[in-house]
Amino acid sequence: MSLIEITQPAYDVDFEIAYATGNNFTGKPVYARPGCYLHADAAALLACAIDLARPLGLRFKIFDAFRPSEAQWVLWNHTPDPEFLADPRRGSPHSMGAAVDLTLIDGNGCELDMGTAFDAFTPLSHHGTTEISEGAQRNRLILLGLMTAAGWDFYRNEWWHYQLFSPRGRYPVLGDAVLPAPMMPSK
């Protein structure tokens, strides 16, 4: 099965692939290069969400999409917290190309306030929390509305994470070898 590379201008999104930088919860790059890939089913829903956001003057910034199974092990070995990370033995929807981590940006490319940073492993990152500002709550609800209207499911503990419904069993867990160029560092 092949994955679709999400690139501009085909997809009107910005990218900040967090695991290709040290700006993530591990404090160091996990990927050797940034890449943004999704299963065709997920890519179609992303295109729909983009179309829904456009009339509102909003766009998306993607932090992560397909995550090779090797990367899921790196993350799990660093922080084995099932509240925020899928156990790689079960398989992550990210490793199926069936999930995307993102936020909303305005017409100037500025991120909307979501109350916490991406990958903040805290109850403040949960959908529906009222412990963040009203503006951040509103922004999260706009993101949730756009993504669910486009056909995505959400993960209750992470405002940034959206996935295809019931991906386990429908999509295989994939490793770095399926990509045209590796994202993982060579050993």
pLDDT confidence of residue 29: 98
CA–CA gap between residue 34 and residue 48 (Å, rounded): 23
pLDDT in the model for residue 1: 57
Contact by Cβ (8 Å): 101, 61: no
Q: Which of 16, 83, 111, 158 is catalytic?
A: 158
- Which pLDDT belongs to residue 66? 98
What domains are defined for the chain? Answer: 4-178 (3.30.1380.10)
Report pLDDT digits (tens) over 72-106.
999 999 999 999 999 999 999 999 999 999 999 99
User: What tens-digit pLDDT sequence spans the chain (187 residues)?
Assistant: 579 999 999 999 999 999 999 999 999 999 999 999 999 999 999 999 999 999 999 999 999 999 999 999 999 999 999 999 999 999 999 999 999 999 999 999 999 999 999 999 999 999 999 999 999 999 999 999 999 999 999 999 999 999 999 999 999 999 999 999 999 998 7
Q: Which helix (H) or strand (E) holds 40?
A: helix 40-53
158 is catalytic: yes
Asked if 124 and 131 touch (Cβ cutoff 8 Å), the reply is yes
Contact criterion met (CB below 8 Å) for 167 and 154: no
Spatial separation of the C-alpha atoms in residues 153 and 46, rounded to whole Å? 12
Task: Name the 3-class secondary structure at 138.
Answer: helix
